[in-house]
Amino acid sequence: MRFAPTELTADERRLQADVRAFLAAELPPGSYERALGMGAGKDKEFSKKLAAQGWLGMALPKRYGGHDRTAVDRFVVVEELLRHGAPVGYHWVADRQTGSIINRFGTEEQRERFLPPICRGELGFSIGMSEPDSGSDLASVSTRATRAEGGWLLNGTKVWTSGAHENDWFVVLCRTAPLEDGNKHQGLSQVLVDLTSPGLEINGIPFLNGEAGFNEVVMNDVFVPDELVLGELGMGWAQNTSELAYERGGPDRWLSTYGIVEEFLRINAGTQLGERALEMLGWATARWWGLRNLSLTVARMIDDGQAPSVESSLVKEMGTRFEQDVLQRVLDLVDLEPSPAAASLFERLVAAAVLTGPSFTIRGGTIEILRSVASKGLRA
Ligand X SMILES: Cc1cc2nc3c(=O)[nH]c(=O)nc-3n(C[C@H](O)[C@H](O)[C@H](O)COP(=O)(O)OP(=O)(O)OC[C@H]3O[C@@H](n4cnc5c(N)ncnc54)[C@H](O)[C@@H]3O)c2cc1C
Q: What span, in angstroms and rounded, lies between the C-alpha atoms of 253 and 323? A: 8
Q: Nearest approach, Cβ of 12 to ligand X (angstroms)?
A: 30
Q: Nearest approach, Cβ of 318 to ligand X (angstroms)?
A: 16
Please report whether residue 41 would count as binding ligand X according to CB under 6 A.
no
Please report whether residue 366 would count as binding ligand X according to CB under 6 A.
yes
Query: For the residues of 145-162, what is the DSSP string, one character each?
Result: EEEETTEEEEEEEEES-T
Please report whether residue 240 would count as binding ligand X according to CB under 6 A.
no
- Identity of the residue, 264 or 322, whose beta carbon is nearer to ligand X in the bound complex: 322
Given 86, 369, 373, 374, the residue binding ligand X (CB under 6 A) = 369
Q: What span, in angstroms and rounded, lies between the C-alpha atoms of 272 and 150? A: 70
Q: Nearest approach, Cβ of 15 to ligand X (angstroms)?
A: 29
30 contact partners, CB below 8 Å, separation of at least 6: none
- Identity of the residue, 54 or 135, whose beta carbon is nearer to ligand X in the bound complex: 135
Contact 145, 191 (CB under 8 A): yes
- Residue 247 annotated to the active site: yes
Please report whether residue 190 would count as binding ligand X according to CB under 6 A.
no
H or E stretch covering 127: strand 125-128
Task: Name the nearest CA neighbour of 119 among 103, 105, 138, 137.
Answer: 103
Catalytic annotation, pick one of 79, 166, 243, 247: 247
Helix axis angle, 345-356 to 258-267, nearest 10°: 150
305 contact partners, CB below 8 Å, separation of at least 6: none
Residues from 112 through 171 that contact ligand X (CB under 6 A): 126-130, 135-136, 160-162
Binding range to ligand X, per CB under 6 A, among 40-48, 231-239, 285-293, 367-375: 367-375
Please report whether residue 363 would count as binding ligand X according to CB under 6 A.
yes
Contact 91, 43 (CB under 8 A): no
Binding range to ligand X, per CB under 6 A, among 19-27, 109-117, 307-315, 355-363: 355-363
Q: Nearest approach, Cβ of 216 to ligand X (angstroms)?
A: 11
- Identity of the residue, 126 or 309, whose beta carbon is nearer to ligand X in the bound complex: 126
Q: What span, in angstroms and rounded, lies between the C-alpha atoms of 370 and 71? A: 22
Q: Nearest approach, Cβ of 372 to ligand X (angstroms)?
A: 6
Contact 222, 1 (CB under 8 A): no
Contact 139, 237 (CB under 8 A): yes
Q: What span, in angstroms and rounded, lies between the C-alpha atoms of 104 and 83? A: 29
Q: Nearest approach, Cβ of 173 to ligand X (angstroms)?
A: 8
Total site size for ligand X, rule CB under 6 A? 18
- Identity of the residue, 306 or 375, whose beta carbon is nearer to ligand X in the bound complex: 375
Active-site residues: which are they? 247
Judged by the rule CB under 6 A, the positions of this chain that interact with ligand X are 126-130, 135-136, 160-162, 359, 362-363, 365-366, 368-369, 372
